[in-house]
Amino acid sequence: MKTFTNANPRDLPQALKLLEQARAAGKNAAVAGGGSDLLGMIKERIVSPDVVVHLRSIKGMDQVASEKGGARVGGLITLDALSSHPLIRRQYAVLAEAAESVATPQIRNAGTLAGNVCQRPWCWYYRNGFPCFKAGGNQCFSINGENQFHAIFGGGPSFIVHPSDTAPALVALGAQFRVTGPSGERTVPAADFFVLPKQNAARENALKDDEVLGMVRLPAPRPGTRSAYHKVMDREAWTHAVVSAAIVLEMDGEVCRSARIVLGGVAPTPWRVPDAERVLAGQRITPELAAKAGEVAVAGANPLRKNAYKVPLTKAVVQRTIVELARRA
Binders of other proteins among 233-252, rule CB under 8 A? 234-239, 242
Compute CA distances 208 → 2, 45, 298, whole Å: 25, 22, 32
Q: Is 316 in the site for other proteins (CB under 8 A)?
A: yes
Answer for which of 49, 168, 264, 270 binds other proteins (CB under 8 A) is 49
Q: Are 145 and 66 in contact (CB under 8 A)?
A: no
Q: Are 160 and 126 in contact (CB under 8 A)?
A: yes
Q: How many residues does the chain have?
A: 329
| CA atoms of 150 and 132, how far apart (whole Å) | 14
Q: Is 1 in the site for other proteins (CB under 8 A)?
A: yes
Q: Is 278 in the site for other proteins (CB under 8 A)?
A: no
Pairing of strands 5-7, 51-54: parallel
Q: Is 305 in the site for other proteins (CB under 8 A)?
A: no
Q: Is 50 in the site for other proteins (CB under 8 A)?
A: yes
The stretch among 25-33, 88-96, 252-260, 270-278 that binds other proteins (CB under 8 A) is 25-33
| CA atoms of 275 and 109, how far apart (whole Å) | 37
Q: Is 63 in the site for other proteins (CB under 8 A)?
A: no
| Residue nearer to other proteins on the CB measure, 255 or 316 | 316
Query: Residue 151 half-sphere exposure, CB side, CA atoms within 13 Å?
Result: 25
| CA atoms of 161 and 147, how far apart (whole Å) | 11
Taking the complex as a whole, the smallest distance from the CB of residue 103 to other proteins amounts, in Å, to: 7
Answer for which of 13, 40, 189, 274 binds other proteins (CB under 8 A) is 40
| Residue nearer to other proteins on the CB measure, 272 or 315 | 315
Q: Is 28 in the site for other proteins (CB under 8 A)?
A: yes
Residue 34's closest CA among 91, 102, 132, 88? 102
Q: Is 129 in the site for other proteins (CB under 8 A)?
A: yes
| Residue nearer to other proteins on the CB measure, 66 or 106 | 106
Taking the complex as a whole, the smallest distance from the CB of residue 223 to other proteins amounts, in Å, to: 32
| CA atoms of 216 and 150, how far apart (whole Å) | 28
- List b or e across 177-203, with b for residues whose CB sees 16 or more CB atoms inside 10 angstroms: bbbbbeeeeeebebbebbbbbeeebeb
> What does the radius of gyration of the chain's CA atoms come to, in whole angstroms?
19
Binding marks (x or -) toward other proteins, 194..213, rule CB under 8 A?
--------xxxx-x-xxxxx
Q: Are 12 and 54 in contact (CB under 8 A)?
A: no
The stretch among 36-44, 150-158, 268-276, 278-286 that binds other proteins (CB under 8 A) is 36-44
Taking the complex as a whole, the smallest distance from the CB of residue 141 to other proteins amounts, in Å, to: 7
| Residue nearer to other proteins on the CB measure, 254 or 324 | 324
For 222, which DSSP code? Answer: P
> What is the footprint of other proteins within residues 138-197 (CB under 8 A)?
141, 144-146, 148
Taking the complex as a whole, the smallest distance from the CB of residue 2 to other proteins amounts, in Å, to: 7
Taking the complex as a whole, the smallest distance from the CB of residue 145 to other proteins amounts, in Å, to: 5
Answer for which of 10, 11, 39, 183 binds other proteins (CB under 8 A) is 39
Q: Is 295 in the site for other proteins (CB under 8 A)?
A: no
> What is the footprint of other proteins within residues 79-98 (CB under 8 A)?
80
| CA atoms of 112 and 56, how far apart (whole Å) | 9
> 3-state class of 42 per DSSP?
helix
